Structures are given as C-alpha cells and as structure tokens.
Amino acid sequence: MNAIRDWAREHPGLSGLVVALALCVVAEAVLWAHWGTLRRHVDDQKQTLDRMEELAAEYETLRAQADAYGARLSESASFSLPALQRVAPEGLGDRITESSFQTNRRDEGLVERVVTLKLDGVSRKALAEYLLAAERLDPAIRTKTLKLAPSKEDPEFLDATVTFSAYEETPNTAE
C-alpha cells in the first residue's frame, strides 16, 4: 500500500486520472444496470399499451355491433330499393347498373335487410351526397361496405359497389 502512495505522490496528475477513470467505470456500470431496468420497464409498458390498443379495438367492434343491433327500422318501407333510388341525386339513379336485396335472420328476433347497388361512372361528390341521403332515410340504415374503383370509361369518375344494411325486429310467431 505504501508503494501505491509513493507512486501517487510522485505522479499526482496521472494518479488523479487513474482515480477518475476508476470512478467513470463504476458510474458506467451503475448506468448500464439502470439502463437495463429502464429497458425492461419500457418493454412492460409497451406490452401493456399493445394490450390496451387491442382492447380498444375490441370495444369499438362491440360498440359498432351494439349500435347496429340497437337501431331498428321505424318502418320497413323506408328501406327498399325504390326508397334508395328516390333519394339519389339527379342523374345518379341512372347510374345504378345492378341491385340486389336480401334478408338475413339474426339473433334476438332481428332481421338484417341488405341492399347492394352497383353504380358506374359517378363523381365522388355525387356518391358522398347519395350515401348521406340514404343513411338519412332512417337512423337504422348504415353503409355496410363501399368498394371503389376508377371508372373504366372516365378516370375522373368512380365505379362503386355499396351495401346498405338495416336491422328490423320481427314479430315472435312461435307460441
């Protein structure tokens, strides 16, 4: 130990640097240990966030289903192909090239009415106005799917396939 003291007295600058280097090595080891703890904490928080996002998506899906089942048609005549054609902006009704109507039985005594329309060569504005007008027919009517493609005749226009859906309660006939 005396030899180290003697050497430190003979080389004060160098001994100070050695002590500073030793302190830096100790500080680095402490920081690396703390960094590892923080990294594990960040990973845990990321997993929690991912799970929360999954739960939020599940909640939105369930809420959308509940909204769809919660709104019922006030009268079935308000949701028909002729009713949907009546609310089409001028000239858009002529663009309907195909249509179909179907009903699907659902749980809880509900029937889903589905109308699918194919529109060729429509403007974005006319299509948006039409979707809004169709959904305003009755609070239960929703745009279920909308598929868009550039029109084959004019790229400024769209070819669209839109599916409207609404739920209706059916009277319970089983006695």
137 near 79, Cβ under 8 Å?
Answer: yes
Give a yes or no: residue 119 inside a domain.
yes
Nearest C-alpha neighbor of 116 from the set 101, 137, 131: 101
pLDDT of residue 139: 83
For residue 73, what are the contacts with CB-CB under 8 A and spacing of at least 6? 79, 113, 138, 140, 141, 166, 167, 168
Number of structural domains in the chain:
2
Give a yes or no: residue 162 inside a domain.
yes
Whether residues 81 and 164 share a domain: the answer is yes
Whether residues 90 and 153 share a domain: the answer is yes
Give a yes or no: residue 99 inside a domain.
yes
Give a yes or no: residue 174 inside a domain.
no
Whether residues 88 and 58 share a domain: the answer is no
Q: Which of 69, 95, 111 is the last residue of a domain?
A: 69
Tell me, what CATH number does 117's domain have? 3.30.70.60
For the stretch 73-107, pLDDT in tens is 666 567 888 888 888 888 888 888 999 989 888 77
How much is the average pLDDT of 30-55?
88
Whether residues 60 and 138 share a domain: the answer is no
Whether residues 122 and 148 share a domain: the answer is yes
List for the chain the helix, strand, coil content (%; round to 5): 55, 25, 20
Q: Which of 69, 103, 123 is the last residue of a domain?
A: 69
In this prediction the pTM is 0.56
pLDDT of residue 160: 94
Q: Residue 159's domain spans which residues?
A: 76-169
Q: Which of 25, 53, 69 is the last residue of a domain?
A: 69
Whether residues 105 and 37 share a domain: the answer is no
Give a yes or no: residue 49 inside a domain.
yes
Whether residues 26 and 81 share a domain: the answer is no
pLDDT of residue 5: 80
**Number of neighbours of residue 131 by Cβ within 10 angstroms:** 15
pLDDT of residue 158: 92
Query: Distance (Å, rounded) from C-alpha 134 to C-alpha 93?
Result: 12
The stretches of 11-148 forming alpha helices (DSSP H) are 12-70, 81-86, 124-136
Whether residues 55 and 102 share a domain: the answer is no
